[in-house]
Amino acid sequence: MKQGILVFLNGTSSSGKTSISTELINQKEIPFYHLSIDDFFNNYNDFINNKFPDEPPRGIDHQVVSQILDDSILTLYLATIKLLLELGFNVVADTVLNNDKRFNAFLDQFFDQPTLFIGVICSKEELIRREQARGDRQIGLAASQFSKVYRFNEYDLEVNTEELNPIECAEKILSFIKSDRDYSAFKKISKKEISVS
Ligand SMILES: Nc1ncnc2c1ncn2[C@@H]1O[C@H](COP(=O)(O)OP(=O)(O)OP(=O)(O)O)[C@@H](O)[C@H]1O
């Protein structure tokens, strides 16, 4: 039995990652599980709020909470993906890679695994339009992530979500997988120097 494949969708907020993930799950030709780091943060927050419903005696800055928890949750997220791949499940991951530390952690874990690195491409103008239309994201979030998230020029495949709808994007990804081509982007990127911020 073969190890599972990891499809990594790289794009800013509102670029269309979740919509593509949903279509990859909906099709039945190649089964996928979707793992977003947000699920891990949300589950952890639910656990804490249920377990400790009282107001904390000491209020601390959100950034301090982040410093204490983020690395551990990222580690657990990556370990869970790795375990699923080892068990033979295919995984679609769609975390926003807007900092080098997070990206390096992904590379360390998956550069030698079957990882399909997909650029989910969308212009800044369209991202701003989508952000305003959906109304559930902070305005300016996508633009603030843009240059960091789209700094990679090595992808196995790009899908432009202004030209293709989510079903077409998912079909393009499936065709690539079925073509049995090598997944080389992650290996190439790993050879570059990426500074840890
Ligand atoms: N291919 C597409 N064409 C047109 N609109 C799209 C496309 N993909 C997504 N959208 C729209 O863009 C918005 C954001 O989509 P989606 O939630 O998939 O983005 P995301 O990258 O997962 O965002 P986030 O990281 O903030 O969760 C939604 O309103 C969705 O309907």
Write down the pLDDT at residue 196. Answer: 45
ipTM higher than the 0.90 cut = yes
The share of the chain scoring above pLDDT 70, in percent, equals 96
For residue 158, is it within any domain?
yes
For residue 80, is it within any domain?
yes
148 pocket-lining for ligand 1 (C-beta < 6 Å): no
182 catalytic per annotation: no
The alpha-carbon radius of gyration of the chain (Å, integer) is: 17
Which CATH number fits the domain that encloses residue 50?
A: 3.40.50.300
For residue 68, is it within any domain?
yes
List Cβ<8 Å contacts ≥24 apart for 39-42: 40/73, 40/76, 40/77, 40/80, 41/73
**pLDDT tens digits for range 46-68:** 999 999 999 988 888 989 998 89
Q: Are 33 and 4 in contact (CB under 8 A)?
A: no
Nearest to 122 by CA among 1, 7, 3, 15: 15
15 pocket-lining for ligand 1 (C-beta < 6 Å): yes
For residue 1, is it within any domain?
no
Helix, strand, or coil (residue 116):
strand
For residue 138, is it within any domain?
yes
pTM for this model (two decimals): 0.91
For residue 144, is it within any domain?
yes
What is the number of structural domains in the chain? 1
pLDDT, mean over the chain: 92
**pLDDT tens digits for range 124-139:** 999 999 999 999 999 9
| Of 72 and 101, more confident | 72
pLDDT of residue 88 exceeding 90: yes
For residue 196, is it within any domain?
no
As a residue count, the chain comes to 197
Write down the pLDDT at residue 197. Answer: 47
Q: Are 122 and 11 in contact (CB under 8 A)?
A: yes
Domain containing 113: what range? Answer: 6-190
